[in-house]
Amino acid sequence: MLWESVKLAMRSVRRNLLRSVLTLLGIVIGVGAVIALMTIGSGATQKISADIAKLGSNMLIVRPGGQGPGPPGGNDARSFNERDVDALRKGVRNVRAIAPSANKQSTVVFDATSSDVTVTGTDEAYFIAQDWSFKAGGTFTENDVRAANNVCVVGTTVVSTVMAGVEPLGQTIRIDSMPCTVVGVLGSKGQSAFGSDQDNTIIMPLRTFQRRIAGNTKIASIAVSANSPADVKPAQDAITEILRETRHMGKSAVEDFSVRDMTQIAAMMSSTTTIMTGLLGAVAAVSLLVGGIGIMNIMLVSVTERTREIGIRLAIGALASQVLTQFLVEAIVLCLFGGFLGVLLGLGLAGLATVFLDVPFTPDPRVMLMAFTISGLIGLVFGFFPARNAARLDPIEALRHE
Amino acid sequence: MISLREISRDYGVGDARVKALASLNLDIDAGSFVAIMGASGSGKSTAMNILGCLDRPTHGAYLFNGVNVTNLSRDGRALLRRNYLGFVFQGFNLLARTTALENVELPLVYRGLSRATRHKQALAALLAVGLNGRESHTPGELSGGQQQRVAIARAIVTDPLVLLADEPTGNLDSERSHDIMRLLQTLNRERGITIIMVTHEADMAEYATRVITFADGHVAQDHAKVFA
């Protein structure tokens, strides 16, 4: 009996295909929006988590300049020096690495090719703090750092732009006319959360950088990697306390440096995504409501059109419940069809969007199942009133209906 | 088989109250072929609706096969129609864009029979009305006479005790009308189905074994014919 109703419903949808599809637009758009948003949202979340991992685990970034929003470290901000770094190394517990660094946009030249690149001066702890891996070679040594040797580690983008087809290890490249021997090639990290290419980088000992590239002894930032997530907050407090002391700041003075927890920044970014998803989800809900009302409308029309048919069915012995079931099933089948079209639309939109937004395309079968279930429920809820009308018809009146 | 006791049926309320039937008494024996005649407004359609359990009397009692069915619920009447009655209408009332076979299967669907059983019984019913070979035609592809045969097949597919026919030849020409009447007569004689038929045409009433004429909600005349 139920299967008969399903077959009948499918036939009815096929007969009025255009009308059915137009009626279903609300459902299609609603479901499509939900699917697209969930798919894009989960892709974005994955990308953000991946970005957090790229930033380095349990990372704190110490920079000159106030705690406020916007890019830290203006020109007038007091930068750090080696004394600050030494004090941190002595005083902060439960950290894996403390790496001072400074960087500058420079030009790298190899043979006749040149390219713009970010050059960072730091020490060997930097690779640990930033979770860098090595594709070839390795880090420069503590001795290189102390002696300010002309050695460097290059990112994969540098290799592919200026050293294509050459074994990079042992080659001498020129950075702002300073010759420098390549001792390691970094593993690829891809784009940062802010869209810059993290692989277009050259890393060298801090003192080499200060003397030969920057021409000063400023330290622009200090990366600190805590042992575990629980150690991040105590480390943050310890860093603040120590730096206030080394920088001779009075008790009431506002800090002229910031200690940022990278996971906080990432969490802020993903909460923005959540708000957007929520807002657009509300739009989808309204669309589904409108779609449901459309379903009710078309089912009422269908019941009126088929009054005579209902009369025949009642006369030959259909129970009121059987007529109710038939029209309910029809509304549900109609909505499931809409849900199906909506899933296709949503996946299509999400597919396009993920290409443009450069996030992974991750369709979730559970979300699709949920969308189907919601469509079915809409059919059940909004189909009930028309179906009840059909079931309550008087057979004599219904048979007389033209 | 059927007994109507002091049946009355009122429509409307207050001053607009109309008595369609007033104290109707009627007994119909099993196996009879009854023609009901009368002018419009004489109450014959109301009587048919009550006999077909589509409507309930305002007063009085309806005994079907010895059982009082007057106060059956809506679903109770639906089950009675499904199991014991068959309907044939003036306007055929087949489902449009649905094949003859599916139309005939419809009452069996509501009985919850399996697909194979439904097919077998529906094909047998179509054969009985002489429509074998037209199973997959839709009503639009069939003539009026053929459509009425499909309707009769649908009415008899459940092996009903009583077949109620409301002006079954009203939309047909004379030749087709006689074909349909002969079919009904055969069903009555060979299967013993009790037939109650409303008609306007005296020559159609000729096929019946008993002719009842209604006037003003009463039985005005009641002739039984004796066949040799």
Q: Where are the alpha helices (DSSP H) in A106-205?
A: 125-129, 142-147, 156-162
User: Within 10 A of B165 (CB to CB), how many other CB atoms are there?
Assistant: 27
B168: closest CA among B65, B48, B2? B48
pLDDT in the model for residue B228 = 39
Cβ(B165)–Cβ(B197) below 8 Å: yes
Q: What is the C-alpha separation between B185 and B207, in angstroms, rounded?
A: 7
Q: What is the C-alpha separation between A202 and A157, in angstroms, rounded?
A: 10
**Helix A320-357 vs helix A2-15: angle between axes, to the nearest 10 degrees?**
60
Closest Cβ opposite residue A317 in set B82, B89, B94:
B82
pLDDT in the model for residue A233 = 85
Cβ(B214)–Cβ(B50) below 8 Å: no
What DSSP letter does each residue of B95-118 carry, written as one string?
PTTS-HHHHHHHHHHHTT--HHHH
For chain A, the 3-state helix, strand and coil shares in percent, each to the nearest 5, are 60, 20, 25
pLDDT in the model for residue A55 = 64
The larger pLDDT score, comparing residue A177 to residue B110, is at: B110
- For residue A57, name the pLDDT band (cuts at 50, 70, 90): low
Verify whether the Cβ–Cβ distance A318 to B78 is below 8 Å. Answer: yes
pLDDT in the model for residue A393 = 94
pLDDT in the model for residue A194 = 66
Q: What residues contact A216, with CB distance under 8 A and at least 6 apart? A: A210
For chain B, the 3-state helix, strand and coil shares in percent, each to the nearest 5, are 35, 25, 35
Closest Cβ opposite residue A315 in set B87, B94, B109:
B87
Verify whether the Cβ–Cβ distance B112 to A4 is below 8 Å. Answer: no
pLDDT in the model for residue A358 = 80
For residue range A262-282, list pLDDT tens digits in order: 777 667 767 777 787 788 778
Helix, strand, or coil here: A348? helix
What b/e string do you get for A18-55 counting C-beta neighbours within 10 Å, with b at 16 or more? eebeebbbbbbbbbbbbbbbbbbbbbbbebbeebbebb
Helix, strand, or coil here: A142? helix
Verify whether the Cβ–Cβ distance B87 to A316 is below 8 Å. Answer: yes
Verify whether the Cβ–Cβ distance A15 to B54 is below 8 Å. Answer: no
Q: Is the ipTM of this complex over 0.90?
A: yes
pLDDT in the model for residue A67 = 56
Q: What is the C-alpha separation between A116 and A105, in angstroms, rounded?
A: 7
Verify whether the Cβ–Cβ distance A316 to B111 is below 8 Å. Answer: no
What b/e string do you get for A170-188 counting C-beta neighbours within 10 Å, with b at 16 or more? ebebebeebebebbbbbee
Q: Which of chain A's residues have a Cβ under 8 Å away from the Cβ of B162? A: none
Residues A235, A241, A243: CA angle, nearest 5 degrees: 100
User: Does B113 reach chain A within 8 Å, measured CB to CB?
Assistant: no
At residue A195, does pLDDT exceed 50? yes
Cα→Cα distances A361→A46, A52, A100, A316, Å? 10, 19, 38, 54
What is the Cα gyration radius of chain A? 33
pLDDT in the model for residue B15 = 83
Verify whether the Cβ–Cβ distance A399 to B79 is below 8 Å. Answer: no
Backbone angles phi, psi at A308, to 5 degrees: -65, -45
Tell me the residue type at A232: V
- Mutation pick from B45, B56, B90, B95 vs chain A, by most beta carbons of A within 10 Å, is B95
Q: Which of chain A's residues have a Cβ under 8 Å away from the Cβ of B55? A: 396
> Containing H/E element for B150?
helix B144-156
User: Does B97 reach chain A within 8 Å, measured CB to CB?
Assistant: yes
Closest Cβ opposite residue B106 in set A311, A316, A395:
A316
Tokens read off for B45:
């359609």
Verify whether the Cβ–Cβ distance B107 to A312 is below 8 Å. Answer: no
Tokens read off for B114:
């399996």
Residues in chain B predicted with pLDDT less than 50, given as ranges, are 228
pLDDT in the model for residue A378 = 94
Helix, strand, or coil here: A145? helix
pLDDT in the model for residue A266 = 67
Cα of B115 to nearest chain A Cα, Å: 10
For residue range A333-350, list pLDDT tens digits in order: 999 999 999 999 999 999
Taking residues A87-109, what's their average pLDDT?
A: 90
Backbone angles phi, psi at A118, to 5 degrees: -90, 120
Tell me the residue type at A227: N
- Mutation pick from A2, A5, A308, A316 vs chain B, by most beta carbons of B within 10 Å, is A316
Q: What is the C-alpha separation between A375 and A360, in angstroms, rounded?
A: 27
Evaluate if pTM is beyond 0.80. Answer: no
Cα of A322 to nearest chain B Cα, Å: 8
Residues A157, A160, A165: CA angle, nearest 5 degrees: 155
Verify whether the Cβ–Cβ distance B107 to A396 is below 8 Å. Answer: no
Cα of B58 to nearest chain A Cα, Å: 16
Verify whether the Cβ–Cβ distance B78 to A399 is below 8 Å. Answer: no
A389: closest CA among A256, A318, A299? A299
Percent of chain A with pLDDT over 70: 94
pLDDT in the model for residue B102 = 94
> Containing H/E element for B2?
strand B2-11
Tokens read off for A201:
């980088």
Verify whether the Cβ–Cβ distance B107 to A317 is below 8 Å. Answer: yes
The larger pLDDT score, comparing residue B226 to residue A298, is at: A298
Strand runs (DSSP E) across A138-284, as ranges?
A: 151-154, 172-175, 178-186, 201-205, 221-226, 257-261
